[in-house]
Amino acid sequence: MPEPPIIFSAPMIRALIAGRKIQTRRMPQPTPAGDGLWHFHNRWGGISQAHQEALTSYIVDAAARYAVGDRLWVRENWQTYSILDSDAPSALTGIRIWYGADEGYKPPSKVRPSIHMPRWASRLTLTVTGVKVERLQDISEEDARAEGVHPAAVYGGQAQSWLPAGDLRETFHLTAKEAFKDLWGRINGPESWEANPWVVAVSFEVRRGNIDSLGEQ
């Protein structure tokens, strides 16, 4: 069974740890082609057919990319000792790690991007519980909450407003869906919501620990 990595930003890492985020939406990255059309990267990192065929191919492929029971290991920004700044990630094993999403002390060393986090340094493991494909704007209020948006004001046990990433300085929204729209635009660009792409929505359970130390459930 494949156990691929998955990248999250610092606010989403905090939402995973807090138990707010149990779902994520992913879409392909378009690449301009020589024929003037847009192509999409497929799951293997190659280029699919031209635009019209790529959309159908992507929808089928997106549904097959994840399966219930699959395990994903989370990549995030990280640091280690400054004396090791020139060492490649592959040369670092079992070294003390500081995570960018955490508050508190961090050493005066370079921040290593999430794409370069090795498997052994990952501290969060996701087990896939559901997969579906839909248009981005079709997200439900329940799913928007599962994406990790933060309830800002709660009265009588019910949230009255929502924040895109849990920062009280950010814009308040009356619904979780509006907060997710804000969050999506911050991550993918202001026009990405209006484009309403097909996305794969992956639901999961979060386990705190390295994928190799946790073992199978």
Spans of all domains in the chain: 5-76+124-143+198-208
- Is the full-model pTM beyond 0.95? no
Please, which pLDDT band fits residue 28 given cuts at 50, 70 and 90? low
Condensed to tens digits (0 to 9), the pLDDT of residues 105-137 reads 999 999 999 999 999 999 999 999 999 888 899
pLDDT score of 139: 97
- 165: which DSSP letter? S
Residue 86 C-alpha from the chain's centroid: 28
Q: Cα(167)–Cα(171) distance, rounded to whole angstroms?
A: 9
Contacts 24+ apart (CB under 8 A), 50-59: 55/198, 58/28, 58/198, 59/133, 59/198
